[in-house]
Structure 1
């Protein structure tokens, strides 16, 4: 939406005949400087007069009939003005002031379907200042915990190993978009935040649209949508450099450079990030780079091209295994209700920074590791990160994304936006393969590397090795949108969305752990071959995903109300080629049919007063299944009748803004009804092939109320409080009978799941957030951010609840509150545009459980859904991040 921040002065003449034609004259100057803008564009919309004539910075449109018109004033690099004017019988004189801005930003916001106060959906904006102030080198989603019904954690503490949950849905059902392009995994919908570790440094803003949202692409906006806009090319030349240090030996440098506008046509910007850390949790070191490049070219008055490229080549150690609470802190475990002291006796207390995925090794072991064939790694065979330990779990990946955006005004009424994009990716994660020697001391499994090395033959076969699980991929896509302004109130929009992806999955030898080769027995085309470093082992297959989608949308808006409706359809097709399965002398190939999904949504907003609006939206999504529910990766079994999940959405809300700007609030109620959540089971088909079938019928209800308030009594103090109270529950049991052998009627297998009334776990169902901002002096800012979480039932797999005598709720983790402190001191009196900052997270050093899984198979005690049966990640203790930012 276009708007302007300056004053337009209208001077109306009163002389002349009642129906005489008039001239519109005007001047256009830069706001603040008063300098005339040569080459600005004035258009009287809806008439044949067209552009104004430029007379050395003064503009005139002649021969205008009396009446009411819309005039648009624009220039490259300035905010566009659209103003309604009334022309009388005399000449009309207009003075315009245009504010310098980034045209790329405005277009990006329109393309990315960003919401504003006229949009009837629940949303929260987190602006650049809040990101820079509160993030402090954490994972990007963690800054969003101040948003109602949003829960994000850093899980095990590895850099980029974050997850986010919105309205009780994991990020598989949360659309994440960067500059309007979806980045969820094409196979399963997941988001790997380590791939986007530099986005927080380049982000202009993040908009959290909760629920079905107003994004018109067919993306998984079930819990909501994270709509991230990065900083586009800047109009003013300059840049900044930021140095950061922090807990866990964090060192980070961020450099930003902007060319400014060149010949009113070109602009370039670049952000580069270098980050290293040892990590607080054992073995969670990080070695990262990140970049964000942008270029803009104003082709002519009606067309502009923008190019964006971003990525984050990185390696980091991981902590993927939750532990019994007593493993981290025995006293804290015993303080939990229901924790049996006998459970603490069998779990060895290792401290809050314990990581079961890392273990020491003799530094005399100096064999090299194969770390992949991506060019950014340097040499493929390298020394391991440390001579003193080996990471069982390490992540290494680079997923660049490149967008070419074209914005075109085809006419006064018709505009086009088109984004052609590419996203690649090379890398993977590590783990073990074969016979590893494990240390099970005190009920914990930790790799004994020295024993494994001793067990392998230094001149022959390695019984157990480290492997890389590779995920090499590419995606190309195009998103086309056409918008037609039927009249001043009614807009029609239509769009097409095409994506295609290919993903290679295989494992390769990373570390032979003292052996010379590993014998691979699973490749039918090369049986029992001796695999060395970098050779493929265990599995090797390639998947493809082909996606087509389209939508139409209409929006009618007046000063009093706005309504919109959207309908969309999408189709997806999967294929699979398995190089470790011999089918008639060739690799096995499988292909699904086209699977069709639908979405429909509508909403309306009514402004009761100038400061109060109420809104309502409803929607429906028929969501196509993920790859694994259609084709089995490992045996090629195909689900011949895959079933879509259905989601129904209902939401109503109210917004109020005090005319004085002192107080405002947003409140809303929502209901998301999830129907026919399905599972798949392997079956034998009559022709001897393996197949998949659906087990469906599981329903869930997600409902709640959300509130955001803001109070600013003075210029130097502001308090924001937000909260939500939710009810997320399973609504049905599941009972199904199927034939395990489709050709044998006696092979009936019964599946019963007892879930009705159980709480949906993995995120708190009630929360509060409070942000107090103070500016006790002009150059000193203080922010205190508190978050409180309640009613957090632990995660569990519904397929495991098959005991009719077990209807107990999963374990409920303790409530907790965490405070963070953010200080910023500007140095304008010493070095203009520079500042010092300090972030202290978990100021009170609270011990708390942030993630929990019920009745752990590996760390549970007596499997009765209480504290001693859960495996958990503790939140990180008090830590700091400080640095200096210099602008130039």
Structure 2
């Protein structure tokens, strides 16, 4: 009886325990109706239990409850809640289909409130999202920002065509006025807000998703988001356990190899993720060889109670690449090709030296960035997010210096018959050998104090018509070094007052030192280099030369070695505060933001001023700026929503506007730039069709701008400073996606802009010694803003012909493309406006195949082929000059370019242009485990 009693008590206890602590396994497969979704997050509501899907889209998760709800999320798809009930220890939910939502990033991915991610049908801004899978598949040999070219109002071009030299505009605003954020950290240069994509060439390897917010955006910081904000989220250290090994190759000897591994979150809360890649190639454009590396290290720790989450990341991409930088006219492309078939790959900056390819123009840089993110869940209603970061940029750009009898290295006298620079001839002349130039001149160089001495002199002095030439000067390769040390922190406190009202307040602090000087790279056969620009140490004769390859040391000395021509620092301090109040209830979301910042600008010059001169180190010029913006989104029902937003910026000018002409005297006419913008939008969502339509209107007054002088033959290295520029940008945008069937999808976009200058402006022309040459009033009212297509459209489709076998194609069209303004064309009120370039369209196509491998089919081998510009379209992507076909070739009379037959596709052949790339391809193979 006692035994029976004990058995009954034990059985009862087991029944109670099993009821309370019963465990079961929930399984299923996540798809998008077309293919499985690896890496989707599956979590049991109300618990900390979560799992990720494997490469076959399958998941398994243990549950301590017999029933409940799963919350399933994946970047680019709407989150879904699924009920489950465990029976006999299991619950198989079968296939679960997520609905594509290209405008949403899962909140589970974004843990930090420092990162301002727009949420679909909630945040009232115009936004597009590019998923990691699309970047990984379709980028190929394209530059990282080019993946954005099929989003509305974005124009992406390759510039001169060197590795990482691409650029984008959004709504007609160049990337100096587009805020680029990586995990909530601003990366635009603090002196001029530039973004050099060659410094971020490895971002495509580590990006989880990229979101483009057009217009003022939702960022709480007082940043330069005039045209838009590009938010880039990199892979976190607590991503799913596994790794990949891959390689890709393409045209022009392109080769890339990559390896990565992540531990996943361990039981002790630690996690790690690492990646390394190497890329090299000859470049599509002649003479643009490149080599780049990328490393990424992420370490994470989460406490058991999930109150604290720490993430450390350190990434860098040391690279060097030869460039095409000198202005080339259409006539030159035709000269080294043919009139009907110009040589669009022609590069006037390279040739051969001692039997090896040599380019005078080279960019080399290493910009490592480290950050520590700390997210502290204080309680259920309060959260503190902090990021502390640092960046240590080292490197610069090489170019030619000096000349021979007034001719620089790009002059025709140094050209071979096929248009290359004859560097052997330059070296022979520099070293004192009798040299016959292409123009027939026979010259022997003259020594100075027993040496063949180079300098910045071109060998010509005096004024036009009265020039004096010498035979003592030579040609060198020198570099402009633009290094920096940058430290900053962003702190955001998030408080949920009620279920409907949330408040954010925070601080943004940064300190930046830009280090600028030139050094000597190659004497090209000469003995010494003479420099007389340092007033504290004049008449120096130098022989030390320095490499044009980046240092692998992320903390290398930024001021090492001899300096020539100029040597100065630009110091910028930034102190900012911001706040946001957001109201969300039922179908209504509204927010209002405000931010204020004080920027201090200080210039230190070691060459131009005596050390005893107060101008050698200025005080900080402090300028206050800020913004206010707000918006409302209303969800009419589950399918329709509308939104409006508006804002006003008072934006501090760039460093070179505070201290014009590279001198230490503050601009007496310094004013903040003023931006006002309003926008409205409509969205439609269904299981088959999604669409967004946006209207915007933006004005920009008192803009400051610096551009290179397009007439570089007359003024090599010269530049223009503009003041008082005004612009008005307005337009309409459409973006849509259709799921025709589970296997066939179509996407498209269209944008129409009307971007014009408003009022007149002033320009000042400087030479490369920063001496003022001329001033002019520019009549720009109603002139079209150039450098971007004002009409863009794309249509794309993907079709899964067999399981995990997909073909895709996309056609991108660009029209109303205008040249950048060249000031000499706008000094009269009756000018012809901006030069319109021919429209063009490009077809890209790709093929993907994923093969599941391994005993459990939880690994995959991925094949991808990309072909860009399938039809090999020849097109002009940009022009630096504004010469019309009906302009006179010389003076005010005589033949015009059109009457003389000197046009190409209706464009005068004297225009300085860059053609886009012809057909390119790449093939990639990746093993995911």
After superposition, the C-alpha distances for 1:245-273 in whole angstroms (9 at most, x for unaligned) are: 00110110011111122224011111111
Q: Which runs of 5+ in 2 are unaligned?
A: 1-18, 30-41, 50-61, 84-90, 97-104, 433-450, 455-473, 547-561, 708-719, 765-771, 898-906
* Correspondence for 1:762: 787
* 2:475 is aligned with 1:451: no
592, 595, 599: which one aligns with 1:568? 595
Contact 1:643–1:678 (8 Å) recurs in 2: no
Contact 2:798–2:808 (8 Å) recurs in 1: yes
* Correspondence for 1:609: 637
Larger displacement relative to structure 2 (628-637 or 758-767): 628-637
Q: Which runs of 5+ in 1 are unaligned?
A: 1-23, 44-55, 61-69, 86-94, 336-348, 364-386, 682-692, 738-746
244, 250, 253: which one aligns with 1:246? 250
* 2:349 is aligned with 1:325: no
Equivalent runs, 1:688-767 vs 2, <5 Å: 696-734=723-761, 751-767=776-792
432, 436, 441: which one aligns with 2:412? 441
Separation in structure 1 between the aligned mates of residue 813 and residue 888 of structure 2, nearest angstrom: 27
Count of aligned positions: 765
* Correspondence for 1:850: 877
* 2:394 is aligned with 1:426: yes
Equivalent runs, 1:17-166 vs 2, <5 Å: 31-32=26-27, 105-108=109-112, 111-166=115-170
Describe the SS at the equivalent of 1:581.
coil
Contact 1:461–1:518 (8 Å) recurs in 2: yes
372, 376, 380: which one aligns with 1:404? 372
> In the superposition, relative to structure 1, how do residues 399 and 861 fare at CA in structure 2: closer, same or farther (>3 Å)?
farther
- Once the two structures are TM-superposed, the CA of residue 729 in structure 1 deviates from its matched residue by 0.7
After superposition, the C-alpha distances for 1:444-477 in whole angstroms (9 at most, x for unaligned) are: 9975423332332475423321111111211000
> In the superposition, relative to structure 1, how do residues 181 and 26 fare at CA in structure 2: closer, same or farther (>3 Å)?
farther
Separation in structure 1 between the aligned mates of residue 763 and residue 399 of structure 2, nearest angstrom: 36
TM-score normalised by L of structure 2 = 0.77
After superposition, the C-alpha distances for 1:165-210 in whole angstroms (9 at most, x for unaligned) are: 0000000110011111111011001100000000011111110100
Separation in structure 2 between the aligned mates of residue 121 and residue 656 of structure 1, nearest angstrom: 15
Describe the SS at the equivalent of 1:844.
coil
* Correspondence for 2:693: 667
> In the superposition, relative to structure 1, how do residues 304 and 425 fare at CA in structure 2: closer, same or farther (>3 Å)?
same
Contact 1:27–1:96 (8 Å) recurs in 2: no
- Once the two structures are TM-superposed, the CA of residue 234 in structure 1 deviates from its matched residue by 4.0
Separation in structure 1 between the aligned mates of residue 311 and residue 818 of structure 2, nearest angstrom: 46
* 2:516 is aligned with 1:502: no
Contact 1:856–1:871 (8 Å) recurs in 2: no
* Correspondence for 2:842: 818
* 2:213 is aligned with 1:186: no
Describe the SS at the equivalent of 2:618.
strand
Describe the SS at the equivalent of 1:605.
strand
642, 646, 653: which one aligns with 2:674? 646
Describe the SS at the equivalent of 2:703.
strand
- Once the two structures are TM-superposed, the CA of residue 510 in structure 1 deviates from its matched residue by 0.3
Describe the SS at the equivalent of 2:287.
coil
Equivalent runs, 1:822-833 vs 2, <5 Å: 822-828=846-852, 832-833=859-860
Separation in structure 2 between the aligned mates of residue 289 and residue 581 of structure 1, nearest angstrom: 37
> In the superposition, relative to structure 1, how do residues 596 and 472 fare at CA in structure 2: closer, same or farther (>3 Å)?
same
After superposition, the C-alpha distances for 1:319-354 in whole angstroms (9 at most, x for unaligned) are: 11342223324799967xxxxxxxxxxxxx872211
* Correspondence for 2:798: 773
Separation in structure 2 between the aligned mates of residue 762 and residue 37 of structure 1, nearest angstrom: 47
- Once the two structures are TM-superposed, the CA of residue 102 in structure 1 deviates from its matched residue by 11
- Once the two structures are TM-superposed, the CA of residue 38 in structure 1 deviates from its matched residue by 12
Pairwise CA RMSD: 3.7
634, 653, 657: which one aligns with 1:629? 657
Separation in structure 2 between the aligned mates of residue 501 and residue 694 of structure 1, nearest angstrom: 23
> In the superposition, relative to structure 1, how do residues 332 and 521 fare at CA in structure 2: closer, same or farther (>3 Å)?
closer
886, 890, 912: which one aligns with 1:871? 912
589, 594, 597: which one aligns with 2:617? 589
- Once the two structures are TM-superposed, the CA of residue 764 in structure 1 deviates from its matched residue by 0.5
556, 573, 588: which one aligns with 2:583? 556
Separation in structure 2 between the aligned mates of residue 804 and residue 780 of structure 1, nearest angstrom: 60
Separation in structure 1 between the aligned mates of residue 147 and residue 44 of structure 2, nearest angstrom: 43
* 2:568 is aligned with 1:544: no
Contact 1:860–1:868 (8 Å) recurs in 2: no
After superposition, the C-alpha distances for 1:30-87 in whole angstroms (9 at most, x for unaligned) are: 75289x99998589xxxxxxxxxxxx98589xxxxxxxxx99999xxxx9x999x9xx
Describe the SS at the equivalent of 2:502.
strand
Describe the SS at the equivalent of 2:427.
helix
Separation in structure 1 between the aligned mates of residue 135 and residue 44 of structure 2, nearest angstrom: 37
* Correspondence for 1:338: none
> In the superposition, relative to structure 1, how do residues 753 and 886 fare at CA in structure 2: closer, same or farther (>3 Å)?
same
Describe the SS at the equivalent of 1:451.
helix
Separation in structure 2 between the aligned mates of residue 151 and residue 37 of structure 1, nearest angstrom: 39
- Once the two structures are TM-superposed, the CA of residue 26 in structure 1 deviates from its matched residue by 8.8
> In the superposition, relative to structure 1, how do residues 333 and 764 fare at CA in structure 2: closer, same or farther (>3 Å)?
farther
Equivalent runs, 1:347-366 vs 2, <5 Å: 351-361=343-353, 363=354
* 2:250 is aligned with 1:282: no
Equivalent runs, 1:787-826 vs 2, <5 Å: 787-797=812-822, 799-826=823-850
Describe the SS at the equivalent of 1:629.
helix
Separation in structure 1 between the aligned mates of residue 324 and residue 802 of structure 2, nearest angstrom: 43
> In the superposition, relative to structure 1, how do residues 182 and 881 fare at CA in structure 2: closer, same or farther (>3 Å)?
same
> In the superposition, relative to structure 1, how do residues 136 and 680 fare at CA in structure 2: closer, same or farther (>3 Å)?
closer
Describe the SS at the equivalent of 1:390.
strand
Describe the SS at the equivalent of 2:194.
coil
Separation in structure 1 between the aligned mates of residue 321 and residue 284 of structure 2, nearest angstrom: 13
* Correspondence for 2:438: none
Describe the SS at the equivalent of 2:198.
helix
Separation in structure 2 between the aligned mates of residue 263 and residue 314 of structure 1, nearest angstrom: 38
Contact 1:860–1:870 (8 Å) recurs in 2: no
Separation in structure 2 between the aligned mates of residue 286 and residue 662 of structure 1, nearest angstrom: 44
> In the superposition, relative to structure 1, how do residues 672 and 333 fare at CA in structure 2: closer, same or farther (>3 Å)?
farther
> In the superposition, relative to structure 1, how do residues 40 and 606 fare at CA in structure 2: closer, same or farther (>3 Å)?
closer
Separation in structure 2 between the aligned mates of residue 281 and residue 82 of structure 1, nearest angstrom: 48
Contact 1:840–1:880 (8 Å) recurs in 2: yes
